[in-house]
Amino acid sequence: MIPELGEMNYSVVLQTPQKKIESGQQITEWVDLFSSYAARRYQRGNERFSDDQKNAVATYQYWIHYTNSVTEQDRLIDCETSQIMDIRGVGRFREHGLIRLDCEAMPTSEQNDIRGRGQ
């Protein structure tokens, strides 16, 4: 279901990866593409095991105004929760002027690692 304009009240930042060579090693920095307001819809949550740890995983849909510049390689930051979201799918609804971003919240440990590096 397409969200109403009044539902688009969550501030988000879209970021794209930028690769560079530093001290002979390739590193990825995240650069802001743009900020936007979005409708946010919780989809589901579950638990996954990784490196002998159980991680809670939540999936969301974010709806933003139409743009061609967002891809599945990008990520979304929910400014209200400060959660970093991996974009798993991009649905384009040009006739409605919107795109749907299917996102998965990164595990807390990964988010702390990223914030600790200032990225």
55-69, 74-88, 96-110, range with the lowest pLDDT: 96-110
Which residue bears the tokens 């970093």? 84
Structural domain of residue 28, as residue ranges?
Answer: 8-116
Look up the pTM and report it: 0.80
The CATH number given to whatever domain includes residue 16 is 2.40.10.270
Q: Residues 45-63: pLDDT tens digits?
A: 665 555 566 666 789 999 9
Domain count, the chain: 1
Nearest-angstrom CA–CA distance, 34 and 12: 9
Specify the pLDDT at position 119: 46
Q: Residues 19-49: pLDDT tens digits?
A: 999 899 999 999 999 999 999 999 866 655 5
Residue 108 makes CB contacts below 8 A (sequence gap 6+) with: 55
Using the predicted structure, report yes or no on whether residue 116 has a pLDDT greater than 50: no
